[in-house]
Amino acid sequence: MSSVFEKRSNGIDGPPSKIKVSDLTMAYGDSVVMHNLNFTVHERDIFIIMGGSGSGKSTLLRHLVGLQEPAQGTISYQGTSAGFWEMPPSERERLLRRFGVLYQDGALWSSMTLAENVSLPLQEYAAVDAEEISALASLKLALVGLSGFEDYYPSEISGGMTKRAGLARALALDPDILFFDEPSAGLDPISSRRLDDLIRDLRDSLRTTIVVVTHELASIFAIGNNSVFLDAQSKTMIASGNPKQLLAESKDPRVLAFLTRGEEASRG
C-alpha cells in the first residue's frame, strides 16, 4: 500500500495524501447509497463533502471515521499498512485515536460537565496526570472560546456553545484529521462565520487535515480548498476539486444549480 501515499503523480510536489478512497460503494443492506467513489484528501486540506439532502454525505462521513464498513472498495489513511477494514483491530484502534469528530448536535455526554467531556479521551489515552488533564481540558475549551464554562453541563449551555464544546472534545487528543458533520447547522450566521474562522485557524495552527460535511454555501466557499460533490440521483460523485473552481469552470448543471442555489438552473 505504500504507493498509495506517494507524492502527487502530476509531477508537482504537492502535499502528501492523507485519506485515499478507492472504488467505494456504500450500502445499507441491499440498498446502495453511493457507488464508485474515488477521491483523495491531501494533508492540510479543508475538504468539503457536499451534495443535496439525502445524498449520503453523512453516510460517507460515517465510512471515513470507521463507523461503517464499506460494501465495496477501500479507504486508506496515511501512515497505515492497509485499508481501514483490512488492518488488524489494534492498528485500527490506534488510527482512530488520530481522528477528532464533531457530530451534528455536538453529541456531548449529558451526564458529564464540559471539562469532563473533554477530559475523558485524555484519561483513556494520554499518559499524563490529573492536574495536566485538567489544564489540557481548560486549554481546549479556551481554544473554542468556552473558558470559564468547565463546570457547566451540556443542558445548561446554548446550541452554538454545545457545538463548540463538541469541537473542544474532538480536539482533546490533538487529532491528525478532524471531521465535522454539518458544523453550521442550527447556528446563526455570525456564530457560523466564527466557527468557519475557527476551523481555518485550527488547520493553520495545528497543521490538521479537516473534512467537513456541509451544504452551507457560505462555508463551502469560505473555507473549502478541495471537495467532492455527491449526487443523489446518479448515486455517485459527479464533481471534485476546489469549490470556487467548480463554480467557475464546471459545466454540469446539477453542480452549478447547487453552487448557485438554483439561480443558474432557473436562468438556463
Partner 1 sequence: MEQVDLEYARRPDGTLRVALGGDWKLAHGIPAPKGVIEEIEKSPPPRRVIFETGVLAGWDSGLLTFLLSVLSRCKQLGVEVDRLGLPEGVRSLIALATAVPAGPARRSSEPAPVLARVGDAAIAWWIGFCDTLAFIGEAFLSLPRLFTGKARFRRSDFTLAVQDCGARSLPIVALINLLVGLILAFVGAIELRRFGAQIYVADLVGIGMLRDIAPIMTGIIVTGRTGASFAAELGTMEANQEIDALRTLGIPPMDFLVLPRLLALCLMMPLLCLYADLLGIAGGLVVAGSMLDISPMQYLLETKRAVHLNDLFLGLFMSAVFGVLVAVTGCMRGIRSGRSASAVGEATTSAVVTGIVSIVVATAIITAISYVLGI
Question: Which residue ranges make up the site for partner 1 (CB under 8 A)?
Answer: 109-111, 126-128, 132, 135-136, 139-140, 142-143, 145-152, 154-156, 174, 198, 201, 204-207
Least distance (Å) from partner 1 to the CB of residue 64?
23
Question: Whose Cβ is closer to partner 1: residue 98's or residue 244's?
Answer: 98
Least distance (Å) from partner 1 to the CB of residue 107?
10
Question: Whose Cβ is closer to partner 1: residue 136's or residue 230's?
Answer: 136
Decide: 246 and 229 in contact? Cβ < 8 Å.
yes
Least distance (Å) from partner 1 to the CB of residue 90?
18
Q: Which three cell numbers stand for residue 15?
A: 502535499
Question: Whose Cβ is closer to partner 1: residue 127's or residue 190's?
Answer: 127
- As a whole number of angstroms, the distance between CA 13 and CA 124 comes to 38
Question: Whose Cβ is closer to partner 1: residue 165's or residue 259's?
Answer: 165
What radius of gyration, in Å, describes the C-alpha atoms of the chain? 19
- As a whole number of angstroms, the distance between CA 107 and CA 100 comes to 13
Least distance (Å) from partner 1 to the CB of residue 45?
17
Least distance (Å) from partner 1 to the CB of residue 124?
13
Tally of CB atoms within 10 A around 75: 21
Question: Whose Cβ is closer to partner 1: residue 23's or residue 132's?
Answer: 132
